[in-house]
Amino acid sequence: MLCTIISANNIYGCYRASDADVDCFLKTHKNDLIWYNKLEDVECNLIFQLKSTATIKNLKIHNISSNEVLPKSIYNGISYMTLRYDVLFGYSKLIPEIVGNFDIKKSLDMPKIQTDLSPPYLVVHIADVVTYCLYTESECKFMGDSPIGIKFIRNLIDYDTLNIDKMLNIGDNSTVDFLISDIYKDGYDSVGLPKNCIAASLAKASCAEYCAKEDLFKSLIIAFAFDITHHAIIYAQMNGLDTIAYLGDLVNVENVCKIIHFAAMFRSSMGVNSAFFKYPQYIAPLGMAEIGETN
pLDDT digits (tens, 9 = 90+) for 108-128: 888 888 887 889 999 998 877
Give the C-alpha separation, 20 to 4, whole Å: 16
Question: Residues 144, 132: contact at Cβ < 8 Å?
Answer: yes
pLDDT score, position 163: 81
Question: Is the model's pLDDT at 184 over the cut of 80?
Answer: yes
Lowest mean pLDDT among 80-94, 107-121, 257-271: 80-94
Whether residues 15 and 149 fall in one domain: no
Question: Residues 89, 254: contact at Cβ < 8 Å?
Answer: no
Task: Give the β-pairing of 273-277 and 243-248.
Answer: parallel
- The percent of residues in the chain predicted with pLDDT above 70, rounded, is 71
- Distance set, CA 249 to CA 7, 161, 208, 285 (Å): 12, 10, 31, 13
Task: Give the β-pairing of 273-277 and 88-91.
Answer: antiparallel
pLDDT score, position 17: 55
Question: Residues 122, 132: contact at Cβ < 8 Å?
Answer: yes
286 occurs within a structural domain: no
Per the model's pLDDT, the better-predicted residue between 216 and 17 turns out to be: 216
15 occurs within a structural domain: yes
pLDDT in tens, 200-253: 998 998 777 778 889 999 999 999 999 999 999 999 999 999 899 998 778 878
Whether residues 21 and 101 fall in one domain: no
pLDDT score, position 103: 85
pLDDT score, position 160: 72
Per the model's pLDDT, the better-predicted residue between 213 and 45 turns out to be: 213
At 282, the pLDDT band (50, 70, 90 cuts) reads: low
Whether residues 121 and 190 fall in one domain: yes
Q: Mean pLDDT of all residues in the chain?
A: 77
217 occurs within a structural domain: yes
Whether residues 145 and 247 fall in one domain: yes
Task: Give the β-pairing of 88-91 and 140-146.
Answer: unpaired
Whether residues 94 and 54 fall in one domain: no
196 occurs within a structural domain: yes
Whether residues 94 and 234 fall in one domain: yes
At 294, the pLDDT band (50, 70, 90 cuts) reads: very low
Q: Which of the residue ranges 90-104, 151-165, 214-228, 278-292 has the most confident prediction, judged by mean pLDDT?
A: 214-228
| Alpha helices, H only, 129-211 | 150-154, 164-170, 180-184
- Domain with 167, as residue range(s), is 88-277
Domain CATH number, residue 226: 3.30.420.40
Q: Which residues pair with 130 in a beta bridge?
A: 126, 146
pLDDT score, position 3: 55
Whether residues 112 and 152 fall in one domain: yes
Question: Is the model's pLDDT at 12 over the cut of 80?
Answer: no
Residue 120's SS3 state is: coil
Per the model's pLDDT, the better-predicted residue between 266 and 287 turns out to be: 266
Among 31, 65, 99, the domain boundary falls at 65
Question: Is the model's pLDDT at 57 over the cut of 70?
Answer: no
Indicate the number of domains in the chain: 2
pLDDT score, position 231: 94
77 occurs within a structural domain: no
At 52, the pLDDT band (50, 70, 90 cuts) reads: low
Whether residues 204 and 139 fall in one domain: yes
Question: Is the model's pLDDT at 45 over the cut of 90?
Answer: no
